[in-house]
Amino acid sequence: MSADVVVADCGFGNMGAALGAWRSLGYEVTRSSDPATLARARLLVVPGVGHLGAVLRELRQRGVAEVIAERDRRGQATLGVCVGMQALFEGGEEAASEAGLGLLEGWVVAMTGAPRLPEMQWNVVSVVADAPPPLRVLDGAWVYFVHSYAVATTPHALATEEFGGRWVAAAGRDALLGVQFHPERSGRRGLAFLDALFRWVRTEA
């Protein structure tokens, strides 16, 4: 049996928050570090807080990196959140010696020009016109960000924010999606996005 949503448990930070949001929406959500369980999920959520290098090492050591790549090849849905999104790119300035998962083109860079770091605040996102429907519900919405690094340019950009420059707030292709903000901490708009995302996954899959 597989749960609707499985949150990859790699030992990072606020698991309680990630799980609670899905639970409040009425979905069956579990946490797991077992690659087989992660591989079977309808939607895999990869959270991530802290240092990009540490997150990438954990994802590789626990076999989660390979699961994400395999799900991508099969067209199974995966959502990376915050550093979990950053990990999907080719690499980052914060961890120059650790290669990214390389599933999305682009590099994670320090947010040079930002008024104060980390950006720890609500900000408005602009969503591109041809973004998947779950993201479209967030166009013009205020969502919560916590980060000091971000992707500045990628061909996969789906949403942006302005904070001393324009930064990628969401990116993806096919069933692979990453969001720099925290939907589980973005109030009712964040929950509406998660709800729309799962409905979209269920319809498309």
Partner 1 sequence: MRSVRIIPCLDVDRGRVVKGVSFVNLRDAGDPVELADTYVREGADELVVLDITASVEERATLTELIAAIAAKVFIPLTVGGGVRRLDDAAALLEAGADKVSINSAAVADLGVVEGIASRYGSQCVVVAIDAARRGDRFEVFTHGGRRPTGRELGTWVRAVSEAGAGELLITSMDRDGTGRGYDRPIYELARSLTSVPIIASGGVGALEHFVEGARLGVEGLLAASVFHDGLLRIADVKAAMLAAGLVTRPADG
Which residues sit at the interface with partner 1, rule CB under 8 A? 12-17, 20-21, 23-24, 49-51, 115-118, 120-124, 141-142, 144, 146-147, 162-163, 182, 184-191
**Cα end-to-end distance, the chain, whole Å:** 17
Q: Is 147 a catalytic residue?
A: no
Q: How far is the CB of 105 from partner 1 (least distance, A)?
A: 26
Minimum Å distance from CB 141 to partner 1?
A: 7
Q: Is 182 a catalytic residue?
A: yes
Q: Is 82 a catalytic residue?
A: yes
In contact, 174 and 71? CB cutoff 8 Å: no
Residue 17 or 128 having the CB closest to partner 1: 17
8 Å CB contact between 44 and 67: yes
Give the active site residue among 119, 156, 161, 182.
182
Residues near 175 by Cβ (< 8 Å), separated by ≥ 6?
71, 72, 75, 76, 77, 78, 201, 204, 205
Catalytic residue among 10, 82, 119, 161: 82
Residue 18: CB minimum distance to partner 1, A? 9
Give the nearer residue to partner 1 in terms of CB position, either 15 or 69: 15
Bridge partners of 108, per DSSP, are 92, 151
- The neighbour count for residue 3, using CB atoms within 10 Å, is 18
Catalytic residue numbers, as ranges: 82, 182, 184
